[in-house]
Amino acid sequence: MSGLPFTLVGAAANQPELLYVWDQATVEAKAIIVFLIIFSIAAWWMMIYKAIQMRRAQKLNRYFGEEFRAQKTVLDMFDRKLQVDGCPLYAVYQAGCVQLEARLRGPGDQRKPNVTIKNMEHTKRAIENVVAQESLKLESGLILLAIAVSGAPFIGLLGTVWGVMSTFAGIAQQGSATMAAMAPGVSAALITTVAGLLVAIPSMFGYNWLVHNLRAFTVELDNFAQELVSRMETEYLADE
């Protein structure tokens, strides 16, 4: 029995640190680590996907905004049937123009010169609905990162507590409380907490960056909606 600690030390010295800890981990700890790895892949995929989505939307918004402010009338691009798929500002503009066009059409499908305040309010509400929908579309998927930030450390802690409990239970049964008997089990238990933090820390930075950009997008959508409504009222609202 006296040679057992030296045997364990020798085995540990001949293996990479993480591989040795993995070998010493319990089945429960390994299951938690595998789950956290899958969770980490999903979180990284979501961060990359949302970053690409927001950068593309930002680029399209910039080009569309320049085109919108350069047109002579508010319905100019709508009459030209301009299509800008994936652009949040275009979605807001298109919805507003569709509603305004429907209320401008009179007998014989001729466009009336103006609309009433009531009709303009309907158009304004349609624009506000699309602003909310586009904001929700950009926000979708962030819940996964929020769960990763708040939940991954606790899942890792669960594995650690479980592993430490199993280690002490095994030591109690063997009646041996030496460092050589405790160290492998404790180190294997702690690796689940490390895995949880490795999931949570990148997710935290990614989540905060995405939320910041989302707020900027929401403000941009609100400002554009107000500008669009203002131009529609200036050009088509009847004086009553």
Q: What letter does residue 111 receive in the DSSP assignment? A: B
Assess if residue 53 is contained within a domain: yes
Tokens of 6: 């030296």
How many CB atoms sit inside 10 A of residue 190's CB?
Answer: 18
* 2 in any annotated domain: no
Total domains, the chain:
1
Domain range enclosing 222: 17-236
Digits of tens for pLDDT over the chain (240 positions)? 344 444 444 444 556 676 766 677 778 888 888 999 999 999 999 999 999 998 999 999 999 999 888 888 898 888 888 888 889 999 999 999 999 988 888 666 677 788 888 888 989 999 999 999 999 988 888 999 999 999 999 998 888 888 787 777 777 777 666 666 566 667 777 888 888 999 999 999 999 999 999 999 999 999 999 999 999 998 887 665
Q: Which of 233, 234, 7 is nearest to 123 (CA)?
A: 233
